[in-house]
């Protein structure tokens, strides 16, 4: 490390696997840096201390160098900063970096400590995934609409039973594609893990809302709801998706004209987490579909579209820091959601 203006990093910083640099917040220049920072930037510390921020910021990056300096000064005033920056290394290579700024006082002088991490692989992979989700969701829905529209045209222009049956099959497959598009959207939102969208609710009230929605869509089904204890949970759209899939699976896969589904809410006997159990009297869920939830995809095959719903349930519940368990037996299936218990919301909250 190199001392700059009498300020240098403690030697312990050399052992870290994260880049560390000390900044003069007024001038926006580096005072000292550790070896990891040198590796990330491609410059030796002696050279870094001579450079201004624009020298190692990508020319095409939309954020200005003045914004970087503004962040340094805001941090020096007591407001820590975290942001993503496009770094231009000494060899011209561009990388994405996450930078965390914190206020420091060394040798009696105020400075800003910058922690920098090379997140290029993560950042670019994340954005490719975002593009993949958008394309997949959009294309699935469009193709499904076209397929169903053409099936309707075929059906409308003939009365021949074989052709009508073929058109019905095409229409059903199109509907399946449309449902897959919805599932893709639900999975996308679940893996985004956006905690800002969550609200704290009474578990029974949150479940009852979804039960009412599903009951309206399937009036012939009988859905019973039992509360063993009053408990609080955090919920968001992912919770709604997971519970709706569990209830709908229990209904649509039933051999009965009036399916019966039981929902039981209370503390888990093992951990005290909130346990939401959905039981039915249907044939057992295919073993291969349950295996696919925990086995690498190249090693398994999902036999039909219902397996996607299981993935939606799993990922949605896991996004809420919970877990899911399936039990299958001759009498039917049981799906268990286990969620972290939360302090109950205000008593005036509608239940």
Which pLDDT score is estimated for 131? 55
How far apart CA 17 and CA 37 sit, in angstroms, is: 9
Structure tokens at 344: 């109950």
Query: Rounded to two decimals, what is the model's pTM?
Result: 0.56
Per-residue confidence band for 336, with pLDDT thresholds at 50, 70 and 90? very high
Minimum mean pLDDT range among 68-82, 113-127, 128-142, 145-159? 128-142
User: Alpha carbon of 15 to those of 91, 118, 209, 255, 339: distances in Å?
Assistant: 25, 17, 53, 64, 39
More confident residue, 270 or 228: 228
Beta strand 109-118 pairing with 94-106: antiparallel
Average pLDDT of the segment spanning 227-244: 94
The strand order across the sheet containing 94-106 reads 29-33, 19-24, 109-118, 94-106, 81-88
**Can you state the angle between helices 120-156 and 161-192, rounded to 10 degrees?**
160
CATH class, domain 195-351, is alpha beta
Minimum mean pLDDT range among 187-191, 210-214, 298-302, 320-324? 298-302
The domain limits of the chain are 11-118, 120-192, 195-351
pLDDT for 174-216, tens place per residue?
777 767 666 666 666 665 656 667 899 999 999 999 999 999 9
Which pLDDT score is estimated for 66? 85
Average pLDDT of the segment spanning 56-77: 86
Q: Is 6 exposed, middle or buried (0-12, 13-18, 19+ CB in 10 A)?
A: exposed
Structure tokens at 58: 């990508």
Residue 256 parent element (H or E) = none
How far apart CA 99 and CA 117 sit, in angstroms, is: 7
Q: Is 265 exposed, middle or buried (0-12, 13-18, 19+ CB in 10 A)?
A: buried
- Residue 1 reports pLDDT greater than 50: no
CATH of 11-118, one of 3.10.129.10, 3.30.1490.190, 3.30.450.20, 3.40.640.10: 3.30.450.20
* pLDDT > 70: percent of the chain: 81
More confident residue, 184 or 217: 217
As a whole number, the mean pLDDT across the chain is 84
- Residue 333 reports pLDDT greater than 90: yes
Closest alpha carbon to 249 in 188, 165, 308, 175: 308
How far apart CA 242 and CA 2 sit, in angstroms, is: 55
pLDDT for 264-297, tens place per residue?
999 998 889 999 999 999 999 888 888 877 764 4
Which pLDDT score is estimated for 6? 66
- Helix ranges (DSSP H) in the chain: 35-41, 45-48, 65-76, 120-156, 161-192, 203-217, 237-252, 287-292, 306-319
Which pLDDT score is estimated for 303? 44
């Amino acid at each position: 490390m190199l001392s700059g203006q009498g300020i240098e990093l403690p030697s312990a910083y050399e052992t870290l696997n994260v880049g560390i640099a000390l900044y003069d917040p007024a001038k926006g220049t580096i005072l000292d840096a550790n070896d990891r920072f040198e590796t990330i930037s491609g410059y030796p510390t002696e050279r870094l201390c001579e450079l201004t921020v624009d020298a190692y910021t990508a020319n095409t990056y939309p954020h200005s160098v003045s914004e970087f300096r503004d962040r340094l000064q805001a941090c020096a005033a007591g407001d820590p900063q975290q942001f993503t920056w496009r770094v231009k290394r000494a060899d011209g290579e561009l990388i994405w970096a996450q930078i965390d700024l914190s206020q420091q006082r060394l040798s009696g002088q105020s400075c800003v400590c910058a922690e920098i991490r090379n997140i290029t692989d993560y950042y670019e992979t994340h954005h490719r995934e975002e593009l993949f989700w958008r394309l997949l969701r959009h294309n699935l829905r469009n193709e499904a609409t076209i397929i169903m529209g053409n099936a309707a045209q075929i059906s409308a222009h003939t009365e021949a039973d074989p052709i009508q049956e073929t058109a019905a099959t095409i229409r059903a497959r199109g509907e399946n594609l449309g449902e897959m598009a919805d599932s893709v959207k639900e999975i996308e939102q679940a893996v985004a893990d956006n905690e800002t969208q969550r609200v704290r609710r009474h578990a029974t009230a949150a479940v009852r809302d979804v039960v009412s929605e599903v009951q309206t869509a399937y009036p012939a089904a009988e859905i019973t709801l039992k509360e063993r204890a009053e408990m609080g949970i955090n919920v968001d759209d992912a919770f709604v998706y997971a519970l709706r899939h569990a209830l709908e699976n229990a209904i649509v896969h039933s051999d009965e004209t009036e399916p019966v589904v039981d929902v039981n809410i209370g503390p888990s006997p093992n951990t005290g987490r909130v346990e939401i159990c959905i039981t039915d009297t249907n044939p057992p869920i295919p073993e291969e579909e349950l295996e696919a939830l925990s086995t690498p995809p190249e090693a398994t095959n999902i036999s039909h579209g219902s397996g996607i719903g299981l993935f939606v349930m799993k990922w949605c519940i896991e996004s809420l820091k919970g877990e899911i368990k399936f039990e299958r037996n001759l009498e039917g299936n049981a799906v268990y959601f286990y969620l972290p218990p939360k302090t109950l919301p205000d008593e005036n909250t509608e239940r």
